[in-house]
Structure 1
């Protein structure tokens, strides 16, 4: 028996045998995890030690979100946002209702507004002189946009709305430009290219297509195509807009191209954590030595998303009896496994989820059960516990790598009275989504140029 004694241990190994003899366990620090989830701090600093590095903060740390709400209320709001996100992803990838065309960049995008996005923010400078703004990072989107003056209709954000008239580098895109020529059914107003993105829940952003300078730490990136939204409505309360990190050509990563080698790395700081380790870094220097690399899978029907080859699940060091076919991407682009920063809770096809959940339950019979909460059907009453012993939970990837999660990434507090739930849920389709709760505290690197995603080796 191998016992992991550290709460935030991360084990990434190459599998030599999928049939280990005895379960693996680790300790969940109940008291500290509950405390961390209740703490809220303001944070507006930008990391500038290296030119392509930014600090990542959870929405709960942005001042506009700090409130007197209890943990259950915040949890319920997060699950509501998450349900919208998952529903939109499934509809978009399936090609059904919920798929919308961008009238501004000529590439498909699904807004975090409808998807319930807005979990993790970075602070960047927009224009010259740079005006600092919070923007949502979204690995499933290819759009970059911010709210702009004159603001005919804007939602409330934590910083002053960006005013293009005060920027010496703002340049509206003309109707005859190459950018505007890629716009499907693009509009034109007074010689300027217009964009409009509409969403199924009534949210939208409308405005001008422009080239502008963005500032990341000490680095200026000039002539970035952005949407300057003059009429906006939706769920992005607090953030100025969105920074798309998807795999398409009009995302921030796609526009940078050779400047960063198609590579970036991020670490999502744990919810409520005192850690300042949440980072977003661009460039090949962000690719770590010693990571466990998993091939990216291309889905022509959803080029923005990062698909990876998940082959199985493990509980307590034992592989769950689920066919690898459950996780495969079909020739028609259905199913598969997506890494998504905007989804909170990992979704698995129902047969895989139920086998996974049952395996976890069978190894936690020592813990008192609690009633289901929201989308979670497996919860525990840990009131009064300082720490508990729980089985390890692992993702098995094709080719051998295994990612074993920290305990706080799969058993999470949902209220102020000690209720913890198994943080996975069944998917409404064949699509699997690895959400940000499971990604927190783990260094994740995307090498789009060479077609790999890396896990670790750093724990942040």
Structure 2
């Protein structure tokens, strides 16, 4: 692999002021980084406003998709007060608590949990990012939730015994020339494993995926053609859900990006080389992220860290984290706090569906205290939702905040942009430290901390990369 280089990543959309720098050595690699950055408070407040422009079809080629954050979907499916920034913030944190509870429950590995239905990493209504794809022949456009913690791809289908509301007409397989049911004796059906839900009288394979709160999707497994931009992929195994319960903000289904064999990544390993790249954007008017598949999506100049395989949770993307930095200091936290246990507990997961980064309580407390010690110049505010460290930045145009860094196993360091450290809790200047304690040993790097940074996952080679591009 050669020398893995340290990454210092700052969003191009921000003006970062470097007031002083520190030179250090981590894992034998020398680097320097700024002690402080400037957070654009005015821009942060402005970005709490929803962009009500309707999304148009993606014109990207080579399978590259635009990613739309949930807040933009709300502009298409408003239900009253959800245009209020404080309400959206509160709702997002409530969803996040459910998501984390679902993940930690799934990864606690109590003996009685084994042999149950496959539980997706996505909680009901907690889809955070959406993509627009074409399904069938001719292709019918549908919004789908993307989820790095799920494997099964599924879509609501007619005839609907029970379907939730979605923005597009429910997909009708009778109108698709490429739709083909999967027999129970097929290899594809066998790959469902715990998602297998028996056979129909006609010998067709049935699936079921359950969620942590009791919502679910049930139906038949089929092979279908998916269209992404101008790229067409044939014979993709999807769940055709005839009985579905949940609220997915208009999305017709889910595109699983986990590392399992039934995920989109796993199924297309031969065509994509087991590689994909994404860039998440949630705030800002007129902005959108991207999702791209294939080895050509792997950037030159990224900072790569090895993926850590957890036999107990093979769908998730674990990475090795050795420490955290605030300003010029490395926070005194034992590396063991972030390690993956022999029983599959603990460890650090990269997750697109969790918003806020979670850390084991002892690590979080030390990390938070180090941040507070270097922000004594900022006026404090009362806690907001899950956040115990907030600031009243009303009237400020910009403020100086200490740099926050993730120290990864093997040497790379990811330095976060200021906007990924303090986030607005409302539209009147309350900003909160965007981290929270984990209810378990599990650490989760959430999508707020991933925002604006190109994330590349090379499943085949076993590495995850940061940068060098931004969005």
**The two structures share one fold, judged by TM-score above 0.5:** yes
2:122 match:
112
- Cα displacement (A) at 1:99: 5.2
Structure 2 CA distance for partners of 1:34 and 1:163, relative to 1, 3 Å: same
- The answer as to whether partners of 1:316 and 1:392 remain within 8 angstroms in 2 is yes
1:367 aligned to 2:378? Answer: yes
1:315 aligned to 2:326? Answer: yes
Describe the superposition over 1:416-437 as per-residue Cα deviations: whole angstroms up to 9, x where unpaired.
Answer: 2211000000000010000000
After TM superposition, list the pairs within 5 Å mapping 1:53-452 onto structure 2: 53-62=64-73, 63-66=75-78, 68-69=81-82, 70-96=84-110, 108-114=118-124, 117-182=126-191, 183-184=193-194, 186-191=197-202, 192-276=204-288, 278-452=289-463
1:44 match:
55
Separation in 2 of the partners of 1:302 and 1:9? 40
Structure 2 CA distance for partners of 1:181 and 1:443, relative to 1, 3 Å: closer
| SS of structure 2 residue aligned to 1:224 | strand
Separation in 2 of the partners of 1:15 and 1:399? 18
The RMSD of aligned alpha carbons is 2.5
Describe the superposition over 1:267-292 as per-residue Cα deviations: whole angstroms up to 9, x where unpaired.
Answer: 0013244334x100000010001111
Count of matched residue pairs = 451
2:5 match:
none
Describe the superposition over 1:372-429 as per-residue Cα deviations: whole angstroms up to 9, x where unpaired.
Answer: 1111000001111111111111111112111111111110001122110000000000
Structure 2 CA distance for partners of 1:5 and 1:238, relative to 1, 3 Å: closer
1:8 match:
14
Separation in 2 of the partners of 1:181 and 1:24? 53
Separation in 1 of the partners of 2:446 and 2:207? 30
Structure 2 CA distance for partners of 1:5 and 1:240, relative to 1, 3 Å: closer
- The answer as to whether partners of 2:99 and 2:121 remain within 8 angstroms in 1 is no
- Cα displacement (A) at 1:43: 4.3
TM-score by length of 1: 0.92
| SS of structure 1 residue aligned to 2:352 | coil
| SS of structure 2 residue aligned to 1:72 | helix
Separation in 1 of the partners of 2:295 and 2:220? 32
Higher deviation after alignment, 420-429 or 23-32: 23-32
Separation in 1 of the partners of 2:450 and 2:16? 11
Separation in 2 of the partners of 1:339 and 1:24? 26
2:3 match:
none
Structure 2 CA distance for partners of 1:21 and 1:216, relative to 1, 3 Å: closer
Separation in 2 of the partners of 1:409 and 1:194? 42
TM-score by length of 2: 0.90
Structure 2, unmatched stretches of 5+, are 1-7
- Cα displacement (A) at 1:47: 3.6
- Cα displacement (A) at 1:351: 0.8
| SS of structure 1 residue aligned to 2:76 | helix
Structure 2 CA distance for partners of 1:97 and 1:141, relative to 1, 3 Å: farther
| SS of structure 2 residue aligned to 1:331 | coil
Structure 1, unmatched stretches of 5+, are none
- Cα displacement (A) at 1:234: 1.2
- Cα displacement (A) at 1:195: 1.5
